[in-house]
A and B are shown apart, each in its own frame.
Chain A
Amino acid sequence: MFPKYDVIVVGAGHAGCEAAVAAANMGSKVLLATMNMNTIAQMSCNPAMGGVAKGQIVREIDALGGYSGIVTDHTMVQFRMLNRSKGPAMWSPRAQSDRMLFANKWRMMLEAHPNVDFWQEMITGIVVKDGRAVGVHTGMGLEIESHSVVLTNGTFLNGLIHIGEKQFGGGRAGEKAAKGITEQLVQLGFESGRMKTGTPPRVDGRTLNWDRMEIQAGDEAPSQFSYTDTPKLKKQLPCHITYTSPKVHDLLKEGFDRSPMFNGRIQGLGPRYCPSIEDKINRFAGRDRHQLFVEPEGWETCEIYVNGFSSSLPEDVQYKALKEVPGFENMKMFRPGYAIEYDFFQPTQLRPSLETRLVKNLFFAGQINGTTGYEEAASQGLIAGMNAHLAIHEEEPFILKRSEAYIGVLVDDLVNKGTKEPYRMFTSRAEYRILLRQDNADLRLTPLAQKVGVQGMEDRMTRVNEKEQAATDIEKFFAKLSVTPDQLNGYLETLGSSKLKQQVKLHGILLRPHVKIEGLRTALPVVDEFLSKYTQETLELAEINMKYEGYIKKEQEMVDKMNRLEAVRLSDNFDYAQLKSLSSEATEKLSKLQPRTIGQASRISGVSPADISVLLVHMGR
């Protein structure tokens, strides 16, 4: 009844969808297996994509040919570029999505792909032959054959939901948990662990008093995630901000004795940066209020997401406390917040391709690797999907460097360091964040995707080349054009910048603090005329290139130094124990993690610079 597939993807969340598309876009025949085809690409938690560091990841996914950016652009109800007041590396796109449209758009795009098939059933096991994944077992007892398998099970593996003292099996509110896979993997020798995450209550927007909350509107000139021509957002929905109070905290505290968080019933590791409301009150007792973001779930629906009020307290406690929040006096609840525990596998069991070390052609992506977040999951799905395809053809895996993408940082951190709590991306995790900007993800990554064989990148490549050429032209213009004191002193004075005494090149002026291309355009008609033919995107790139040239160069130099080590390959199954000069800790870690390159080895904790020198010597160069 089934053909032999190239790749079977288990799970159709953000990771699974991107994995299916990535493999399909490289030419693989893909089967996307999900327990419920009505919940493909669900936003199980926040109805939003992007944010600081995460927005950069969505841009990167798009630059590599993934669909998350396109889907978001088509279905968002609000767009904001966060951190505008900071440097360009910090600018982070964030969208508020229509949750139902988002899932629907994803499904339509998957259905439109000729290489993607679907199967609705629980997958209960992987078929492993000679240490290689060659298919899956289903709940009905079917066996479906493939060359590679990608697991993206999210929170479904032995998912256990907690609300107060109640607990029940489930992968998401109203959906059952997946059984069998963890048990089989443990038998195969995998080490499993338990994590915990949570979600806030959903409430009825018709019962809220919006006048008692602050409005948070979208950007006046909304941008987008995709580098392709996606529709521009014409109207937007606002979010609202309100706050908890000591009264709210007191009411919540009344339920602490029935909290699964505090009575030890929840054993999984939760994220410290995404604490539940009871956790915030408990740990930061000195604060008398916490901010809540009241977010719409879509254009039409009245369902509201109460961001900041994640909780696993009993539903009556959540309800009573929330009603004390300004604007929520008459609130009716759709469903309470809950905590969920699920199985994950320490990602140090993976290669940088996201293939497992134990079973060939078996790939993991998303929460199964201990991460959190749609963006983190989607990007891993993309990498796993591409590599699932490449593995079949015995080609070199597609691995992004830390200096090339946040996705590179994410995967590198996971496979080398593992994680002790759900891993979320932060800009501070990236050592080269000045280079990893949302404005240049296409320049960084589209050529790499094209080179590795992602289909349909021609149009994107044309745009990349045009953008680069245009930025170079603008930079040349600035380097050549001389301006006189008369032309510019007026503008400089308004900025409090020192006046010119003689004619200088425009490029030098731009390096001054507070001077912007936009301002120079207003002051100098000749500049305005020259720049009028360029897009805003190109102008931003040229401005960043010129204004931050010194910092960019500094980081690039560091990258170049590091890359010398990245280029030195270490062979798999190398016997580190034979190198007597290595420290014993290094020997142990290196044997366990089998790094691909000296660069990767240098990032493993416990491996010292001296150990790296010893390795270099033995590699002989």
Chain B
Amino acid sequence: MQYTSTNLTDTIVALATPPGVGAIGVIRLSGTAAIAIANQTFKGKDLSQQATHTIHFGTIRNEEDKIIDEVLVSLFVAPKSYTGENVVEVSCHGSDYIIQELIQLFIRQGARMAQPGEFTLRAFLNGQMDLSQAEAVADLIASSSSASHSLAMQQMRGGFSDEIKKLRQELIDFASLIELELDFSEEDVEFANRDDLRALIQKIQRLIHTLMQSFQLGNVLKNGVNTVIAGRPNAGKSTLLNALLNEERAIVSSIAGTTRDTIEEVLNIQGIQFRLVDTAGIREAQDQIEAIGVEKTMEKIQQSSLLVYVFDVIQTPPEEVKADLEKLYQEGVFTVVVANKMDLNPYTKFEHYASNYLTKEQFIPTSAIHKMNIDYLKERLYQAVVQEKVQLDDTIVSNARHFEALKKSYDSLADVLHGMNTGITSDFIAMDIRKALHYLGEITGEISTDDLLGNIFSNFCIGK
């Protein structure tokens, strides 16, 4: 099966600016259909009628006509472009979420994610580059592809990877049965039960659907990131919360133990929703009410993705900070340590606090009351999510290319069902099953249709 070979006729899409912060993001589309794909989603001038090397203002809307962003679209008509093909560059606001939404929209409209170095490769192949650049391009492709070859599997948590592997194997068994019917119809062979096949396909589709729903970036956009602020009484948690939110929400006083209930607020950093939960201080509880508060804090941390631990650089010595972190540590919860009240002790150093639970970039000195380093803290929180250090509870798929493979698996399986429902013969059904197997294999890292025959030979008694 040859679905994998470098396919140079597709229209490809990718982010052209570096990922992460930036005022503007540029998404580049290249290929025959680039202008058409952009035009389908663009509200403004009819892009198909515009001259090359022109820029147009408008909005990009999704299938439900919902505006995703206001953009500037630059048109480069083949062959006068970087790649020598039709190229569209969409300049949008530099939020990762807007960028992802736009890329996913273009993929739904017919583009596919570019392979590493593919724009450059196309440019080269279309004679847009000097031959002397060949070695550099080749190196680029080789190095970036080895990085991108890390499999979706490694990024999947929970039992999903095993489950999808198992279901794919079941589908291979079915595909083998169908091939068996085709290649060995003359012999005394069993037949694939169509009801079982239908049930299996629906089961795989449901699983894929769940996985697609859990696409990390989409998820963050939908649900936000659960973030707990914790620390000893009077470390300044509530002040920090207010500094982050820039308003006085939590009850702030300097009497230890003021905050007894958890308080939930939403903080928006560059488009990401952080759902902040302020907690009662952790210490050996003095009274009954506070004891309940401490228990709640631990519970909240367990339910969150991100922990912001705040301590007072004057009151709390490094050993106690280390002890707290050890107590609060939860597998899978990313921790940021805020050394508050730095204005009172500017000599606080990371080195004093270093431990297994803490790296330098997780350590942020602030002064909540004077709003010092608050923007830096925000930047660190944002980066933690964007660089996928924060694992969201319901995120399983985080890579856009894997998301695309899931989508294609899903669609091929839908084709199989459609074929079965319209009574098409099994050779055509086999064609769609193979395609589905191929895309599922891209997710599990097992690409093989040759193994169909191997499977047949080892499991069925065939041969006259």
Task: Pick from A271, A431, A513: contact of B423, CB below 8 A.
Answer: A513
A613-B141, A617-B137 known; A275 and B463 CB under 8 Å? yes
Chain B 427-451 per-residue mask, 1 if CB under 8 angstroms from chain A, else 0? 1101100000000000000000100
B269 within 8 A of partner (CB):
no
A86-B182, A427-B183 known; A613 and B6 CB under 8 Å? yes
A513 to B449, CA, bound (A): 29
Contact A613 B427 (CB under 8 A): no
Minimum-distance CB pairs A-B, first 7: A610-B145, A87-B425, A272-B457, A581-B142, A581-B138, A291-B188, A284-B461
A407 to B363, CA, bound (A): 67
Closest residue on chain A to residue B426 by CB atoms? A86
Binds B, one of A4-12, A64-72, A219-227, A558-566: A558-566
Chain B 397-433 per-residue mask, 1 if CB under 8 angstroms from chain A, else 0? 0000000000000000000000000111111101100
Instruction: Show 15 A/B contacts (Cβ-Cβ < 8 Å), sorted by A.
Output: A85-B425, A86-B181, A86-B426, A87-B426, A90-B425, A271-B463, A273-B463, A308-B464, A434-B428, A434-B431, A558-B2, A581-B138, A602-B5, A603-B2, A618-B134
A433 to B436, CA, bound (A): 17
A293 within 8 A of partner (CB):
yes
Contacts of A555 on B, CB cut-off 8 Å?
A: 431
A599 to B422, CA, bound (A): 35
Contact A613 B115 (CB under 8 A): yes
A290 to B462, CA, bound (A): 10
A307 to B187, CA, bound (A): 11
Chain B 14-53 per-residue mask, 1 if CB under 8 angstroms from chain A, else 0? 0000000000000000000000000000000000000000
Binds A, one of B117-125, B225-233, B283-291, B328-336: B117-125
Most buried by A among B6, B135, B188, B422: B6
A291 to B461, CA, bound (A): 10
B4 within 8 A of partner (CB):
yes
Instruction: Give the residues from 429 to 457 in chain A that come closer than 8 angstroms, CB to CB, to chain B.
Output: 429, 431, 433-434
Q: Closest CB-CB distance, A579 to chain B, in whole Å?
A: 7
Contact B183 A616 (CB under 8 A): no
Q: Closest CB-CB distance, A580 to chain B, in whole Å?
A: 8
A274 within 8 A of partner (CB):
yes
Instruction: Give the residues from 407 to 442 in chain A that come closer than 8 angstroms, CB to CB, to chain B.
Output: 426-429, 431, 433-434
Task: Pick from A287, A429, A610, A621: contact of B461, CB below 8 A.
Answer: A287
Contacts of B126 on A, CB cut-off 8 Å?
A: 621
B323 within 8 A of partner (CB):
no
Closest residue on chain B to residue A603 by CB atoms? B2
A290-B188, A513-B422, A620-B131 known; A86 and B427 CB under 8 Å? yes
Contact A617 B134 (CB under 8 A): yes
Task: Pick from A86, A275, A618: contact of B425, CB below 8 A.
Answer: A86
Q: Closest CB-CB distance, A232 to chain B, in whole Å?
A: 24
A307 to B464, CA, bound (A): 6
Chain A 42-64 per-residue mask, 1 if CB under 8 angstroms from chain B, else 0? 00001000011100000000000
Task: Pick from B134, B430, B452, B461: contact of A620, CB below 8 A.
Answer: B134
Contact B424 A513 (CB under 8 A): yes
Chain A 75-98 per-residue mask, 1 if CB under 8 angstroms from chain B, else 0? 000000011011101100000000
Contacts of A290 on B, CB cut-off 8 Å?
A: 188, 461
A46 to B463, CA, bound (A): 12
A185 within 8 A of partner (CB):
no
Contact A90 B121 (CB under 8 A): no
A109 to B182, CA, bound (A): 34
A551 within 8 A of partner (CB):
yes
Contacts of A581 on B, CB cut-off 8 Å?
A: 135, 138-139, 141-142
Q: Closest CB-CB distance, B231 to chain A, in whole Å?
A: 48
A86 to B426, CA, bound (A): 7
Contact B2 A616 (CB under 8 A): no
Q: Closest CB-CB distance, B19 to chain A, in whole Å?
A: 21
Contacts of A428 on B, CB cut-off 8 Å?
A: 179, 182-183, 430, 449, 452-453
B199 within 8 A of partner (CB):
no
A-B contact sample (14 more), CB < 8 A, given A52-B183, A581-B141: A52-B185, A52-B186, A85-B425, A86-B185, A280-B461, A290-B461, A427-B427, A428-B179, A548-B428, A581-B135, A609-B4, A609-B115, A610-B116, A614-B142
Instruction: Give the residues from 592 to 621 in chain A that come closer than 8 angstroms, CB to CB, to chain B.
Output: 599, 602-603, 608-610, 612-614, 616-618, 620-621
A280-B461, A283-B461, A581-B142 known; A617 and B424 CB under 8 Å? no
Contacts of B452 on A, CB cut-off 8 Å?
A: 428
A604 to B427, CA, bound (A): 26
Task: Pick from A46, A551, A579, A617: contact of B121, CB below 8 A.
Answer: A617
A280-B461, A428-B453 known; A616 and B6 CB under 8 Å? yes
Contact B457 A273 (CB under 8 A): yes
Contacts of B457 on A, CB cut-off 8 Å?
A: 272-273
Most buried by A among B126, B134, B427, B431: B427
A514 within 8 A of partner (CB):
yes
